[in-house]
A = this chain, B = another copy of it.
Amino acid sequence: MSEQRIEHVAVVGGGVIGLSIAWRAAAAGYRVRLIDPEPASGASHVAGGMLAPLAEAWPGEEELLELGSTSLNRWPEFADELARAAGRSSGLRREGTLMVGVDTADRAELDNVAGHLSDLGRSVNRLTGRQVRKLEPSLGPAVRGGLDVPGDLAVDNRVALDALCAAATAAGVELVPARATRVRPGAVELEGTTVDCDVAVISAGAHSGPLHPALGDRIRPVKGEILRLCRRATALPPPTRTVRGPVHGRPAYLVPRDDGGLVLGATQYEVGFDTEVTVGGVRDLLADAEAVMPGIAEYQLVEATAGLRPSTEDNLPIIGSLEPGVLAATGHHRGGFLLTPVTVDAVLAMLRGEEPEPLIKATDPSRFGGQQ
């Protein structure tokens, strides 16, 4: 791809990744069409919006932590730019994350995370249950220990998506409200027609696989259910920080919203393209959240939804060239919002014909072998 040739960019998929790429590419002077039957729906609409690479750090996933930490550092500037471009709030919250544990095994896992982060030179503070409740008085007596992770942020996914839609529109992105069926060099095929382009970017999340043979079965859907609560007049206020488990070994989280809302998540099932909310999922989400914060019993249950995370075998996204004129920016698993700034920067560099920064190497589609 030489710099001179690229004028028309087609972005396939209007989640947080696709919208961000479309906005930033249009703002950089490309003529951008965004292809999605319903932008800002799907997994990005369901997401909790945690920007928490540290709280999610896991031994053996150092490349993901590096990507996440780098992207997290860019979020404040990304959010400022977004708010300016959209003329509205980006939805970013800067209160940090509190990890909590309920039983002995949970506390042992907190020790593991604390030890791992400390080995990596990250500062975290181990807390007693009493110290946790001093920081967040709404947390209940079942919380026996915690970990303060001050660097991690959160974003209200729906506020951010609204802002991204506004910014994309303001930058001149043209929406093509249709479903893409196939992407090839020079064109995106829709049902019955095609959209011509110099470069196509596949950012269709869990639905990316069928769009290009190099993606194929590299991306599998991992279902996640979340609940949206709203504080009622008589109820205790929500925590100010994002609070996350392990709660009896299950990865629970409570993410506060600026409007008094509280998002509970998230289940994980590998059951294919199924977005139905199950009784068992709701039961577990409520039980785990109530163990951490008993006061939610008096909250209103506003919404129960499920989305499909686009997952890969190594939990790293797929960012890079699939063949000349076709880029992938997908497979972000649990980290679509978190990894948006670093993904957008990489894709914009590729559009300009530049080499993306070195840490993007780990996400290159060629790592699976054979297909590239």
Copies held by the complex: 2
Does the CB pair A277–B304 fall under 8 Å?
Answer: no
- The smallest C-beta distance from A264 to any residue of chain B, in angstroms, reads 9
Q: Is A105 an interface residue (CB 8 A)?
A: no
Q: Chain A: interface residue count, which band? A: 10 to 19
CA distance A232 to B296 in the complex (A): 29
Stretch at the interface among A68-76, A178-186, A281-289, A307-315: A281-289
- The smallest C-beta distance from A48 to any residue of chain B, in angstroms, reads 17
Does the CB pair A301–B300 fall under 8 Å?
Answer: no
Does the CB pair B298–A290 fall under 8 Å?
Answer: no
Q: What is the interface of chain A, defined by CB distance below 8 A to chain B?
A: 229, 232, 276-280, 282-283, 286-287, 290, 296-301, 304
Does the CB pair B283–A287 fall under 8 Å?
Answer: yes
- The smallest C-beta distance from A282 to any residue of chain B, in angstroms, reads 5
- The smallest C-beta distance from A249 to any residue of chain B, in angstroms, reads 18
Does the CB pair B304–A279 fall under 8 Å?
Answer: no
CA distance A300 to B306 in the complex (A): 11
- The smallest C-beta distance from A30 to any residue of chain B, in angstroms, reads 42
Residue of B nearest to A287 (CB): B283
A287: chain B residues within 8 A (beta carbon): 283
Does the CB pair B276–A297 fall under 8 Å?
Answer: no
A280: chain B residues within 8 A (beta carbon): 297-298
Q: A282, A298, A301, A304 — which one has the most chain B CB atoms within 10 A of its CB?
A: A301
Does the CB pair B283–A229 fall under 8 Å?
Answer: no
A277: chain B residues within 8 A (beta carbon): 300-301
Does the CB pair B286–A299 fall under 8 Å?
Answer: no
Does the CB pair A282–B282 fall under 8 Å?
Answer: yes
Q: A278, A279, A298, A304 — which one has the most chain B CB atoms within 10 A of its CB?
A: A279
Given contacts A277-B300, A283-B286, A301-B304, 7 further A-B contacts (CB under 8 A): A229-B279, A278-B299, A279-B296, A279-B300, A282-B282, A283-B287, A283-B290
- The smallest C-beta distance from A295 to any residue of chain B, in angstroms, reads 9
CA distance A320 to B229 in the complex (A): 43
- The smallest C-beta distance from A197 to any residue of chain B, in angstroms, reads 39
Does the CB pair A276–B304 fall under 8 Å?
Answer: no
- The smallest C-beta distance from A280 to any residue of chain B, in angstroms, reads 3
Q: Which of B278, B279, B290 contacts A279 (CB 8 A)?
A: B290
- The smallest C-beta distance from A233 to any residue of chain B, in angstroms, reads 10
- The smallest C-beta distance from A271 to any residue of chain B, in angstroms, reads 9
A299: chain B residues within 8 A (beta carbon): 278-279
Q: Which of B276, B283, B286, B296 contacts A300 (CB 8 A)?
A: B276
Residue of B nearest to A274 (CB): B232
CA distance A287 to B284 in the complex (A): 11
Subset of 13 A-B contacts with CB under 8 Å: A229-B279, A232-B276, A232-B278, A277-B301, A278-B298, A278-B299, A278-B300, A279-B286, A279-B290, A279-B297, A279-B300, A283-B290, A301-B304
A296: chain B residues within 8 A (beta carbon): 279
A298: chain B residues within 8 A (beta carbon): 278-280
A297: chain B residues within 8 A (beta carbon): 278-280, 283
Residue of B nearest to A300 (CB): B276
CA distance A279 to B278 in the complex (A): 16
- The smallest C-beta distance from A289 to any residue of chain B, in angstroms, reads 8
